[in-house]
Amino acid sequence: MSQDVLVVPKREKFGKAAIRDLKKQGMIPAVVYGLNEPPVAIAISPKSVARVLATDAGMNSVMFLQREGTDIQRHVIIKDLQRDPITGRLRHVDFMRVDMSHKVRVKVPVRLTGTAIGVKSEGGVLDFAHREIEVECLPSLIPAHIDVDVTALKVGDSLRFDQLSLIPNVTLVGDAHQVVCSIHGKAAEEEVAPAEATGAAEPEVVKKGKKDEKK
């Protein structure tokens, strides 16, 4: 958990002109909401947000926000980001207030480790179906990522959410039977291609037969 305090000013002006003014100051618009309190519009430095995103915990980093001119500090996590579709630069940030004594639901990235036997020795292909998993836990226990060792997986094997090892007091949310990853054999894929090619040639054979009948 980050112990840095980000001091942020409250936004009093809105609209395109106000956003342009913020950019000139090296700031972007943001909003803080949650815990049954009214949302508050603020401004923040995109560089400060980028430093948080660059940490191991990324968007799930718990940080302090302090509104400029007050001594009130709140724990928050980044709930959503908006980026420029062309430049990729941050345009807006949503922060969610969190109570360190109450559980939150967040999505945590899944990280595969090792090389599956089915890929290394059996010529299979790894299908990484779900790269995030939603969990519930106290803010201080949010894992930066969940490691999944795929070394023992053979062709035809798969791993579901309910087979993952989570740290104590972190619980899975949602469908536990969703497949995280699986190993498919190349042979099955290669057999489909000749069958499709044969099927495509049949109409020409029939067509040729009709021409012969006319003769």
For residue 210, the model assigns a pLDDT of 47
Secondary structure of residue 158 in the 3-state scheme: strand
Alpha helices in 54-185 (DSSP H): 117-120
For residue 190, the model assigns a pLDDT of 54
Secondary structure of residue 194 in the 3-state scheme: helix
Topology annotation, domain 105-190: RNA Polymerase Alpha Subunit; Chain A, domain 2 (2.170.120)
Model-level pTM? 0.75
For residue 208, the model assigns a pLDDT of 47
Upper half-sphere CA count for residue 145 (Cβ side, 13 Å):
12
The two tokens of residue 174 are: 């949602």
Topology annotation, domain 5-100: Ribosomal Protein L25; Chain P (2.40.240)
For residue 215, the model assigns a pLDDT of 46
For the chain, where do the domains classified as CATH 2.40.240.10 start and end? 5-100
- Which segments of the chain have a pLDDT < 70? 1-4, 187-215
For residue 15, the model assigns a pLDDT of 83
The 8-class DSSP code of residue 36 comes to T
65's CB contacts (< 8 A; 6+ apart) are 5, 6, 8, 32, 42, 73, 74, 76, 95
